[in-house]
Amino acid sequence: QKEVEQDPGPLSVPEGAIVSLNCTYSNSAFQYFMWYRQYSRKGPELLMYTYSSGNKEDGRFTAQVDKSSKYISLFIRDSQPSDSATYLCAMSPSGGYNKLIFGAGTRLAVHP
Amino acid sequence: GAVVSQHPSRVICKSGTSVKIECRSLDFQATTMFWYRQFPKQSLMLMATSNEGSKATYEQGVEKDKFLINHASLTLSTLTVTSAHPEDSSFYICSAPETGALDVDIFGSGTQLSVL
C-alpha cells in the first residue's frame, strides 16, 4: 500500500463546475499538507498549504484536511480552462527539511 | 518572493556525454535541496537529497556514481548525469525548503533531458 493514494484521473469537467480532488494517506505522523499544481513540462507550483486539520480558503480554492479519516481534499470553484493541469497532493510529518511524500497526481481538464 | 531558478530548461545530448543541471535559490538560503525525476504522466520520484558542505543522500535504487550531486554553496546545487543513455531521458526537478515565513518546498521549473 502506498503512503499516499491519489486517483490519477483524468478528470474532465465543464467550465464553471466545482472540482473536488482528494488524497488519502496511511501515515498518522503527517502534519503538513500541500497541494501543488503542475502544468505540462513545468515545475510544481504551490497552491495551498495546511497544517494539521481544518479548512483553508484562498480565492476559488479551498483545502480541507480530516486527520481522523486521513483524508485531504482540494475544491476548485468556478473552474476555468486555465485550471487544466495536474494537481499533486503532498505531505510530510513536519515542515522544513523533511522529504515530501507525493500522491500520483490527478490530471484535470476543464473544457469551455 | 522565494524562487528556485533551474537551468537549463531543456537539453538534448548524445549518448555517453555528461549533462549538468543547476538549481539556485534566490532570496533565501538552501542548506538542503531535493532532486526529483518525473516520467510522463507520473508523479515526482525523489532521487536524492543534497546538503550544503556534505555528501548527498541517495534514495534506494538511484546510482550515485551516475547522478553526481554537488551542493557547493548555500544557494547552488548541481546534478550531473554522467555517461547519459536514452533511458536517462526524463524531466528532472529540484526543490528547496524555504524555512522562513513560508516553511514550504519551492520547486524549480524543471529540466527536460533527452538523450539520443
Radius of gyration of chain B (CA): 13
Task: Dump pLDDT digits (tens) for B38-64.
Answer: 988 888 999 999 998 889 999 999 999
Residues of chain B in contact with residue A44, where contact means CB-CB under 8 angstroms, are 44, 93, 107
Give the bridge partners for A63, in sequence order: A56, A74
* Grid cell for residue A98: 523533511
Confidence tier at A68 by pLDDT (50, 70, 90)? very high
The answer on pLDDT for A62 being more than 80 is: yes
CB contact under 8 A, B104 and A34: yes
* C-alpha to C-alpha distance for B98 and B86, rounded to whole angstroms: 34
- pLDDT the model gives residue B102: 62
Radius of gyration of chain A (CA): 13
What's the pLDDT score for residue B101? 61
**A32: nearest CA partner in chain B:** B104
A76: left (phi over 0), alpha (psi -120 to 50) or beta: beta
Contact A103 B43 (CB under 8 A): yes
Polymer length in residues for chain B: 116
